[in-house]
Amino acid sequence: MNGAKLRARLKAGETLTMLNTHHVSSGLAQRMTELGADALFLDCEHGMWSHDDIRSHAQIARSVGGAGIVRPHSHERPLMIRYLNAGADGLMVPMVDTAEQTAAIVDAVRYALPTSYENRLVVCMIETPEAVGNLDDMLKVDGVDVFFVGPSDLSQNMGYSPALPAGEPRPKEVVEAIEEVFAKTRAAGLATGTLVREVDIAHFTGKGAQFLYIHSDPFLKAGLEKMKGLIAS
């Protein structure tokens, strides 16, 4: 599984992209990977991917050198195990707030795949002030590859709007919390990342983000708007 390849690249200091296609289409998944996405984000928290979709999308991503990373809708142990057995190259688990929850996620992965768990990427999402406060203890749990900040949920849980107009930076307090997670995670020798927009890619990569989650829609929209502008001129 390509989760091991992603881990090796992160440990080598590379910056990786994980693209959300927003559409359940194996053909689109293949094309986006061919165009340069290192991994595909298969969102089973907000998206519509079934277990069969997970299998087909992960297979086709691997066939062209990528990987399929699944976000389950919860920490439910049998659910995470089923996604792994369906062929996910890794799990990106939302709302991980404590060291106990972190350890339970690692244990589920190792139980599901006792002889091959090292071939899967394990990503824990930091999305609440509680998680930021507990990060020191969470970083002591062996088996996590990436501590990833979900900026929209963190913003909402800090009392700010999760949505921002294009080009507008996130609130200062949220950015400082994200940077705190980055600094501690990197000091622990682990990779970190976050959702990025064009406006903040340079800032967050400069702060050490390696695992970049990118929505495809804004870039497709920008490309179409540029094309329309060229036509109008």
Most confident segment among 47-51, 82-86, 226-230: 82-86
Between 99-112 and 129-138, two packed helices, what is the crossing angle to 10 degrees?
60
**What pLDDT is attached to residue 199?**
87
Nearest CA among 158, 140, 141 for reference residue 149: 158
**What pLDDT is attached to residue 31?**
93
Domain boundaries, the chain: 3-232
Token digits of residue 44: 């089973």
For residue 147, name the pLDDT band (cuts at 50, 70, 90).
Answer: very high
**What pLDDT is attached to residue 216?**
83
One-letter identity of residue 20 = N
Averaged pLDDT score across all residues of the chain? 94
Q: What is the arithmetic mean of pLDDT over 129-156?
A: 98
**What pLDDT is attached to residue 198?**
85
Spatial contact of 155 and 173, defined as CB atoms under 8 Å apart: no
Token digits of residue 104: 């339970």
Q: What is the arithmetic mean of pLDDT over 178-189?
A: 98
Q: What count of other Cβ atoms lies within 10 Å of the Cβ of residue 45? A: 14
**What pLDDT is attached to residue 1?**
57
Q: Say if residue 189's pLDDT is above 80.
A: yes
**What pLDDT is attached to residue 62?**
95
Q: Say if residue 54's pLDDT is above 70.
A: yes
Neighbour-count burial for 17-42, b at 16+ CB within 10 Å, e otherwise:
bbbbbbeeeeebbbebbeeebbbbbb
CATH of the domain spanning 3-232? 3.20.20.60
Percentage of residues of the chain with pLDDT beyond 70: 100
For residue 217, name the pLDDT band (cuts at 50, 70, 90).
Answer: confident
For residue 164, name the pLDDT band (cuts at 50, 70, 90).
Answer: confident
Q: Say if residue 135's pLDDT is above 70.
A: yes
Maximal CA-CA distance, the chain: 60
pLDDT tens, residue by residue, 1-46: 589 999 999 999 999 999 998 889 989 999 999 999 999 999 999 9
pTM of the model: 0.93
